[in-house]
Structure 1
Amino acid sequence: MSTLRVTVEELTVHEHPHADALELAQVGLYRAVVAKGVYRTGDLAVYVPEQAVLPEELVAELGLSGKLAGSAANRVKAIRLRGELSQGIVCRPKALNGADLVRAHEDGADLAAELGVVKWVPPVPVSMSGEVEAAPGLLPWIDIENLKRYPAAFSEGEPVAEKVHGTACCLTFGVRDEHVQVTSKGLGAQRLALVEDPKNLYWRAVRGHDVPRVAAEIAGELGASRVGVYGEVYGDGVQDLGYGADSRRGEPAYAVFDVAVDIGGQLRWLDPQELTAVLEGRLPVVPTLYSGPYDARLVMELAEGRETLSGRAVHLREGVVVRPLQDRYSAELGGRAIAKVVSGAYLTRKGGTEYE
């Protein structure tokens, strides 16, 4: 999931092609459907992104009672309105006057706490949970921001990998004591590891694919003291999109999307080509859909369509992840240059699951 930030943004307003009473307010590359005439290009407004949970009073103030997602009808979710994808909410809460909007925009302030907005955390199934232990030496995964929110993050030739709808499995291998720690994305952010349990989905995946052995080999070859292997566990029984694999019995399906190595106290992420070469014949890797000059329009097109992981285009594609040919820092993102674009069809599908 992306980081939740509620910010004041300058809008670009477009006509809605299928509705006379509606318009499209653009923030970055996101577009949200708004009532016609409320905003003009250049106006400032609050942008509340997807996965935000709003307090009841704000829901009522915005006239959205009974119109949002979730059992309490208070969660922001992508929808289609008269055929156009609407992602997030554009609004001007009464708690903020014009001067407040200008100041928050200039400061880049996060207004989530002030407005009582929190991030939605999906429930964790029993197969993905378990007993946990403190893991200060863990190499956890990071939140990947959405390229639509940060469109200036890339301007060079970048590869694009398919985004897999599974659950992120993070493994850390320590050379000194050959210690293996396994966690999910959500638990890893809290520096917690899962105690080994043969019934746990993540441990079944790493043992079934012999990931600790591969991590140890990578450590030896690259002279690393710690290795982090980040893979997607997927298949029927994991999320609603199974890619033709059944993870309810036997070995769960698994594909690596990133590897980090700690060499001399410096953490380095393997470049895409290096990752593929290091893992060849050892572990499956998430498919690369394109590698070449970066083109935002092409990336948006690649985010849609059918998945390629199964080799049979079983269902729709979740989206894509964009990263440079050589790992680098992005001032726009404030961290690694890596971002995602999620398919509109995926966001608006029925009966979807979003376990971390």
Structure 2
Amino acid sequence: MSTLRVTVEHVTVHEHPNADALELAQVGLYRAVVAKGAYRTGDFALYIPEQAVLPQELVAELGLTGKLAGSAADRVKAIRLRGELSQGVVCRPRALDGTDLARAAADGTDFAGVLGIVKWVPPVPVSMGGEVEPAPGLLPWIDIENLKRYPEVFPEGEPVAVTEKVHGTACCLTYSAGDGRVQVTSKGLGAQRLALVEDPKNLYWRAVRAHGAAGVAAELARELGASRVGVFGEVYGDGVQDLGYGADSRRGEPAYAVFDVAVEAGGQVRWLAPEELAQVLDGRLPVVPTLFTGPYDARRVMELAEGRETVSGRAVHIREGVVVRPLADRYSPVVGGRAIAKVVGGAYLTRKGGTEYE
């Protein structure tokens, strides 16, 4: 998941091709359906992103009663309105009356706390949970921001790799060379510096043991002279999420694919660039599919986020989306961290019966 920020943004208004009374308000590369005439290009408005949970008072004020997702009809989710994908809510709630919207936009002020908006946290199935222990030495996974919200992360033409985003659950493994300790966690627990106590019934530990990920991490530590190695992979298949890629992770070995590796040497942590990752793993662990390598083109990336999955080799269902990384890992001042971003496909966002376990 990306971080939740509720901010004032500059709006660009487009005609809705299929509805006379509606328009499309664009924020970054997101577009949200709004009432015609509510905004003009150049206006400032609040943007509430997907996965935001709103208090009922705000739901009622915005006229969204019964129109949002979740059991309480309070969660923002992508939908199609008259054939157009609408992501997020563009609005001007009363709580912002008197606010200098242009200044708030320039300052990047986050209004989530003021409005009582929180991030949706999906429930965790029993197979993904378990007993935990403090793990201050973990190399945790990071939140990846959506390219539609931050389109300036990559300049046109920068050499990038675009990989398929696999719909599973992130398995984060840290190997410490000093004592040979292996710690395994989920993305959510890792952010809290908690590791899962080894349990043969736990999905993450099952995947690590089935694919020998801990042994590969130890090999990488020796080969790269690292004190710690983080191996980040997606565990997927039927029984993990609603998209299974034709793999059954309930009875057999959980399906698993590495999407990133971090190494610490000399007190510095670095992420392996896409080509280096492929070289050092060299078939020792499965990796997520690379869909494109070459100069960054925003339109092509958006196209690659759609279509059928390539993980199974049989295109059994829709693709979740893509992740974009520069071929030379670098810092991005746009997101305030590592230059990496995702795009989630519209068909994936609007599918029926979807699950979003972390």
Are 2:228 and 1:230 aligned? no
Please give the alpha-carbon distance, in whole angstroms, between the structure 2 residues aligned to 1:157 and 1:290: 10
Q: What does residue range 122-133 of structure 1 map to in structure 2 within 5 Å?
A: 122-133=122-133
Unaligned 5+ residue runs, structure 1? none
Please give the alpha-carbon distance, in whole angstroms, between the structure 2 residues aligned to 1:318 and 1:301: 12
Are 2:289 and 1:319 aligned? no
Q: Deviations over 1:256-305 (max 9, x none)?
A: 00000000110010000010111112000000000011000000000000
Unaligned 5+ residue runs, structure 2? none
1:102 CA displacement: 2.8
In the alignment, which residue of structure 2 is the partner of 1:30?
30
Please give the alpha-carbon distance, in whole angstroms, between the structure 1 residues aligned to 2:52 and 2:300: 28
In the alignment, which residue of structure 2 is the partner of 1:177?
179
* Normalised TM-score (structure 1): 0.99
Please give the alpha-carbon distance, in whole angstroms, between the structure 2 residues aligned to 1:281 and 1:12: 47
In the alignment, which residue of structure 1 is the partner of 2:248?
246
Please give the alpha-carbon distance, in whole angstroms, between the structure 2 residues aligned to 1:308 and 1:17: 32
In the alignment, which residue of structure 2 is the partner of 1:210?
212
Question: Which amino acid is 1:134 matched to?
Answer: P
Q: What does residue range 115-154 of structure 1 map to in structure 2 within 5 Å?
A: 115-154=115-154
Q: Deviations over 1:103-143 (max 9, x none)?
A: 31121101000010000000000000000000000000000
Q: Deviations over 1:163-212 (max 9, x none)?
A: 00000000000001100000000000000000000000000000000101
Determine helix, strand or coil for the equivalent of 1:46. Answer: strand
Question: Which amino acid is 2:249 matched to?
Answer: S
Q: Deviations over 1:217-240 (max 9, x none)?
A: 000000000000000000000000
Please give the alpha-carbon distance, in whole angstroms, between the structure 2 residues aligned to 1:16 and 1:59: 24
Percent identical pairs in the alignment equals 82
| Number of residues of Structure 1 aligned to a counterpart in Structure 2 | 356
Question: Which amino acid is 2:191 matched to?
Answer: A
In the alignment, which residue of structure 2 is the partner of 1:63?
63
Question: Which amino acid is 2:237 matched to?
Answer: G
Two-structure CA RMSD over aligned residues (Å): 0.6
1:98 CA displacement: 4.7
Please give the alpha-carbon distance, in whole angstroms, between the structure 2 residues aligned to 1:164 and 1:106: 35
Relative distance call for 1:39 and 1:98 in structure 2 (3 A) is: farther
Please give the alpha-carbon distance, in whole angstroms, between the structure 1 residues aligned to 2:312 and 2:50: 28
Please give the alpha-carbon distance, in whole angstroms, between the structure 2 residues aligned to 1:142 and 1:313: 29
Q: Deviations over 1:17-41 (max 9, x none)?
A: 0000000000000000000001000
Determine helix, strand or coil for the equivalent of 2:101. Answer: helix
Question: Which amino acid is 1:172 matched to?
Answer: T
1:308 CA displacement: 0.3
Are 2:331 and 1:309 aligned? no
Runs of 4+ in 1 over 4 A off after TM superposition: none
In the alignment, which residue of structure 1 is the partner of 2:338?
336
